[in-house]
């Protein structure tokens, strides 16, 4: 995500993605963290789960 938002304010970029619904809001149990942990190739990896459909819909509406 940092690479995708390079040159922009990272937190503000995450806020925009969250407000459009493209990034899931953190649960109370996540302590406000937006990255989710998934097992990929047998290793735990933190990533940002983006709903590309919602993201592309919001871009086309602008």
- pLDDT, tens digit, for every residue of 6-58? 999 999 999 999 898 888 887 766 677 888 888 999 999 988 888 888 776 55
**What does 3-21 look like in DSSP terms, one character per residue?**
TTTTTS-HHHHHHHHHHTT
pTM above 0.85, yes or no: no
Count of Cβ atoms closer than 10 Å to residue 2 Cβ: 8
pLDDT given at position 36: 85
Rounded to a whole number, what is the distance in angstroms from the first to the last CA of the chain? 22
Residue 23 burial class via C-beta count within 10 angstroms: exposed 0-12, middle 13-18, buried 19 and up: buried
Distance CA 23, CA 20 (A): 8
- Chain centroid, CA 5 distance in Å: 11
């Amino acid at each position: 995500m940092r690479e995708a938002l390079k040159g922009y304010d990272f937190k503000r970029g995450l806020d925009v993605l969250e407000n459009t619904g493209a990034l899931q809001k953190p649960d109370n149990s996540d302590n406000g963290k937006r990255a989710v942990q998934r097992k990929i190739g047998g290793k735990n990896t933190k990533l940002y789960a983006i709903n590309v459909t919602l993201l592309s819909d919001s871009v086309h509406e602008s």
